[in-house]
Amino acid sequence: MTAIAMQNSGTIKLVLLVSLLASAFLSAAGDGAIPPRRNLIIDTDLFSDVDDAGAIMLAATSPSVRLLAVNVNHPSSYSVLAASALLAHYGHPQTPVGARRPLTAAAFFDSWFFELGEYASKVAYRWSGGTLPWGHAENSWDPVALYRKVLSEAPDQSVTIASIGFFENLSGLLNSSADIYSTLSGPELIAAKVSELVVMGGEYPSGYEFNFWGDNSSLAAHVVNEWKGPIVFSGFELGANVKSGGPLMAEGPENDPVRAAYIYYTYNTSRASWDPLTVLYAMGGLGELFEYGNTNGYNHVVANGSNSWVFDDAIRNQHWLRLRVAEEAAAAELDRLFLKGAWSVPDQVASMESGHFDQHFSSLPPDRLAAM
Q: What is the pLDDT of residues 263-273, one digit of tens each?
A: 999 999 999 99
Residue 352 pLDDT > 60, yes or no?
no
Residue 324 CA: distances (Å) to CA of 102, 131, 289, 299, 341? 41, 39, 5, 21, 24
Say if strands 306-310 and 206-208 run parallel, antiparallel, or are unpaired. antiparallel
- Alpha-carbon separation of residue 367 from 44, 67, 152, 286, 323 (angstroms): 34, 31, 46, 25, 24
E strands present in 290-338:
290-292, 298-301, 306-310, 318-323
In a domain? residue 274: yes
Domain tally for the chain? 1
Average pLDDT score over residue span 142-167: 98
Q: Are 52 and 172 in contact (CB under 8 A)?
A: no
For residue 342, what pLDDT band results from cuts at 50, 70 and 90? Answer: very high
Q: Is 95:86 a contact under the CB 8 Å cutoff?
A: no
Contact 86, 59 (CB under 8 A): no
pLDDT for position 33? 58
Average pLDDT over residues 288-311: 98
Q: Give the model's pLDDT for residue 51.
A: 98
pLDDT band at 65 (very low <50, low <70, confident <90, very high): very high
Tell whether 205 is covered by a domain: yes
Domain interval for residue 238: 35-371
Residue 350 confidence class, pLDDT cut points 50, 70, 90: low
Q: Which helix (H) or strand (E) holds 99?
A: strand 97-99
The mean predicted confidence, pLDDT, of the chain is 89
Query: Cβ-count burial of 106 within 10 angstroms (0-12 exposed, 13-18 middle, 19+ buried)?
Result: middle
Question: Rounded CA gap, 307 and 232, in Å?
Answer: 14
Q: In what order do the strands lie in the sheet with 65-72?
A: 97-99, 65-72, 38-44, 159-164, 194-200, 231-234, 318-323, 290-292
Strand partners, 298: 310
pLDDT given for residue 196 in this prediction? 98
This prediction has a pTM of: 0.89
Q: Which of 72, 64, 77 is nearest to 23 (CA)?
A: 64
Query: Which residues are within 8 A (CB) of 199 and not within 5 positions of it... i.e. 6 or more apart?
Result: 163, 211, 224, 231, 232, 233, 234, 278
Residue 356 has pLDDT above 80, yes or no: no
Q: Which of 99, 119, 67 is nearest to 257 (CA)?
A: 119
Averaged pLDDT for residues 347-361: 53
Contact indicator for 79, 140 with CB cutoff of 8 Å: no
pLDDT band at 14 (very low <50, low <70, confident <90, very high): very low
Does 24 map to a domain? no
C-alpha distances (whole Å) from 73 to each of 166, 211, 240, 282, 304 are 6, 11, 22, 18, 19
149 domain residue, yes or no = yes
Contact assessment for residue 113 and residue 139, using Cβ atoms and an 8 Å cutoff: no
Task: With a cut of 90, say whether residue 4 has pLDDT above it.
Answer: no
Cα–Cα distance between 156 and 188 in angstroms, integer?
11
Contact indicator for 243, 331 with CB cutoff of 8 Å: yes
Cβ count within 10 A of residue 248? 26
Q: In this structure, is residue 26 part of a structural domain?
A: no
At residue 184, the pLDDT reads: 98
> Average pLDDT, stretch 238-260?
98
Indicate if the pLDDT at residue 20 is higher than 70: no
3-state secondary structure of 142: coil
> What's the distance, CA 118 to chain centroid?
19
Q: Please compute the mean of the pLDDT values over residues 227-256 and round it to a whole number.
A: 98
Percent of the chain with pLDDT over 90: 83
CB-CB contact of 85 with 130 (8 Å): yes
Residue 12 located in a structural domain? no
Whether 28 is in a domain gets the answer no
Q: In this structure, what CATH number is given to the domain that contains residue 112? A: 3.90.245.10
Asked if residue 312 has pLDDT above 60, the reply is yes
Q: Please state whether the peptide bond connecting residue 102 to the residue before it is cis, i.e. omega within 30 degrees of 0.
A: yes
**Cα–Cα dist 344/289, whole Å:** 23
In a domain, 140, yes or no: yes
Q: Can you give the pLDDT at residue 36? A: 84
Residue 25 binned pLDDT confidence (cut-offs 50, 70, 90): very low
